[in-house]
Amino acid sequence: MNSPMRNCFCLATVLAALSSQAQGTFQNLNFEQADPMSAGNPLYPEAVTTASALPDWTVTIGGVQQTEVFYDAPSLGGPAVMLVGPGNDPGFAPIDGYYSVLLQGTFSSSLPAISQNGLIPAGTQSLFFEAQAGIQGLDVLVGTQSVPITAVGTGPNYTLYGATISAWAGQTEQLTFAAQESTAGLNNWVLDDISFSPQAVPEPNPLALTGVGALLFALYRRFAPKRH
């Protein structure tokens, strides 16, 4: 694909993704609706309520729903879900805006996950999201079906991933992200800016990845609603 055609594809993808976010019933796909409130846990003072940290999302570890998540305090060994805030922890920073989400998989088979039920907009071909990858994989599920993810671009501090989800277009489904088990250390996946698009997932081109990702980042900043 030549450069002008690639640029047109990127612009169409971003605009369609932003439009799909507004039309679908999925909410808080960029995690900016966070308003973290202390859970009042004397053992873990850095814990905040899931409802305040991740509105509209359900947090589970090993399939067990969690009412608390960590805030800018990553786990040192166990599986965990953390809200990444504006620079309070030196090891992790938000990918975009004020907040991102960290999924920490470990040697435990109790996978940390976030999920949400919503309507996948009619005409959707692809799911896109930005991430900082861990040392093992990330499971993305629509309903109970795992969907393969492909790196399709890079930005200044993330990789852009895409997954084909056209089979579920127009249907209400559960969308889940889970960090896989790891025996080599913490499998840390930072996620942000999830979106649906009517464009197909492009074939990865190593020579074009950086340029595509940078353009998507710039266009997203240009057309996305301002953060508060």
123: left (phi over 0), alpha (psi -120 to 50) or beta: left
Q: What is the mean pLDDT of the chain?
A: 84
Return d(Cα 42, Cα 47) in angstroms, integer: 9
Percentage of residues in the chain having pLDDT higher than 90: 71
Residue at 48 is within a domain = yes
pLDDT at 124: 97
Total of domains in the chain: 1
Give the range of the structural domain holding residue 79, as residue numbers without chain letter: 3-223
- Residue 210 forms part of a structural domain: yes
Q: Which of 15-29, 30-44, 66-80, 149-163 has the lowest mean pLDDT?
A: 15-29
* pLDDT for 76: 86
Contact assessment for residue 212 and residue 201, using Cβ atoms and an 8 Å cutoff: no
Is the confidence at residue 172, as pLDDT, over 60? yes
pLDDT at 12: 39
Q: What is the pLDDT of residue 208?
A: 45
**Does residue 117 surpass a pLDDT of 50?**
yes
Checking if the pLDDT of 218 tops 50, the result is: no
CATH code (residue 116): 2.60.120.260
Residue 33 included in any domain: yes
Q: Is 2 exposed, middle or buried (0-12, 13-18, 19+ CB in 10 A)?
A: exposed
Task: List, for residues 21-60, the tens digit of each pLDDT value.
Answer: 444 589 999 999 999 999 999 988 999 999 999 999 999 9
Task: Report residue 77 as tokens.
Answer: 């060994």
Six token digits for residue 136: 């093992």
Which pLDDT value is given to residue 122? 95
Closest CA to 102 of 165, 167, 164, 186: 186
- Percent of the chain at pLDDT exceeding 70: 77
Whether residue 49 lies inside any domain: the answer is yes
**211 backbone φψ class: left, alpha, beta (φ>0; ψ -120 to 50):** alpha
Q: Residue 90 has what pLDDT?
A: 65
CB neighbour list of residue 180: distance below 8 Å, 6 or more residues apart: 105, 111, 136, 137, 138, 139, 187
Instruction: Indicate whether 164 belongs to any domain.
Output: yes
228 in any annotated domain: no
- Contact partners, residue 63, CB within 8 Å, separation at least 6: 110
Q: Tell me the pTM.
A: 0.80
pLDDT band at 150 (very low <50, low <70, confident <90, very high): very high
Q: What angle do CA 25, 111, 90 make, to 5 degrees?
A: 85
In a domain, 148, yes or no: yes
Spatial contact of 225 and 166, defined as CB atoms under 8 Å apart: no
- Longest C-alpha distance within the chain, in Å? 58
Q: What span, in angstroms and rounded, lies between the C-alpha atoms of 43 and 163?
A: 39
Enumerate the H helices of 102-196 as residue ranges: none
